[in-house]
Structure 1
């Protein structure tokens, strides 16, 4: 099974952990690393390396981070460059992270990346546009005057 490490600024990771556990149940080989104000970027990278090592069963590790170009993403990129079987997606959202728990068994690391990118993109929707489409396609219900 592919290991997953979720990281982000302040309490992004621990907040996602709460939501993922509520949706998917407790997960093995899944770690959540917060990058807090008191943490240096070197300490973050060390924590990410330790988390990756802890969740790796030999099938690879996927980092899911919050902001492209942010410290968690940049430090995951450092690890990706010098560690085999590591991939990273930045800009992760809850549908991606929850689905990572369901989709990571019996697949390859690259196939998981592709699947999660599709899920992440398709989960972002303009709710006003969705409502307007639903209203346009809803059958008109005849109304009667009076009782």
Structure 2
């Protein structure tokens, strides 16, 4: 079954990430970007989400929202709560969204939701400072890219 991903968040979060995702992974006909702007209410946000779903009736849906508990998350959760073909995640990063684009056809919608959360956790880290001479020594031994 076809799967679509609806990315939604506060302000221009969704369309902002759209530019990054399309730069890194190209355009994808199964990705939809729904902003929750100052002009929107929870009702208009729900209408925008339902329009995407209505245009993709036979598809399973993964909602990817910016903040756990925010209006986009609550709206997506309300829509998905009674539908086994829909899942909702929050707090994911660009890398995990791109990974989900390429994996979506090999997993169930539930597995895809778990995978995007796991990928976000694994790719979030703190940079550990090193002595610059160690880095330069390492770079001298490698051919590079």
- The bucket for the TM-score relative to the shorter chain is 0.7 to 0.9
1:57 Cα deviation after fit: 3.8
1:139 Cα deviation after fit: 6.2
Note the alpha carbon deviations across 1:1-34, whole angstroms, 9 max, x for none: 3110000000100011111111111101210000
Q: Is 1:35–1:44's contact at 8 Å kept on the other side of the alignment?
A: yes
Aligned partners of 1:88, 1:56: CA distance in 2, in Å? 17
Q: Is 1:8–1:35's contact at 8 Å kept on the other side of the alignment?
A: yes
Please name the residue that 1:68 is paired with. Answer: 68
Please name the residue that 1:98 is paired with. Answer: 98
Listed as ranges, the gaps of 5+ residues in structure 1 are 141-147
Q: 1:49 to 1:88 in 2, by over 3 A?
A: same
Aligned partners of 1:115, 1:71: CA distance in 2, in Å? 23
Listed as ranges, the gaps of 5+ residues in structure 2 are 139-145
Q: Secondary structure at the match of 1:31?
A: strand
Q: 1:110 to 1:84 in 2, by over 3 A?
A: closer
Q: Is 1:33–1:48's contact at 8 Å kept on the other side of the alignment?
A: yes
1:110 Cα deviation after fit: 1.2
Q: Secondary structure at the match of 1:7?
A: strand
Please name the residue that 1:82 is paired with. Answer: 82
Matches within 5 A, 1:1-147: 1-55=2-56, 57-58=58-59, 60-127=60-127, 129=128, 131-132=129-130
Q: How many residues align?
A: 138
Q: Secondary structure at the match of 1:21?
A: helix
What is the CA RMSD across the aligned residues, in angstroms?
2.3
Aligned partners of 1:132, 1:74: CA distance in 2, in Å? 42
Q: Is 1:31–1:55's contact at 8 Å kept on the other side of the alignment?
A: no
Aligned partners of 1:116, 1:134: CA distance in 2, in Å? 34
1:93 Cα deviation after fit: 1.3
Q: Is 1:29–1:56's contact at 8 Å kept on the other side of the alignment?
A: no
Instruction: State the TM-score, normalized to the length of structure 1.
Output: 0.83
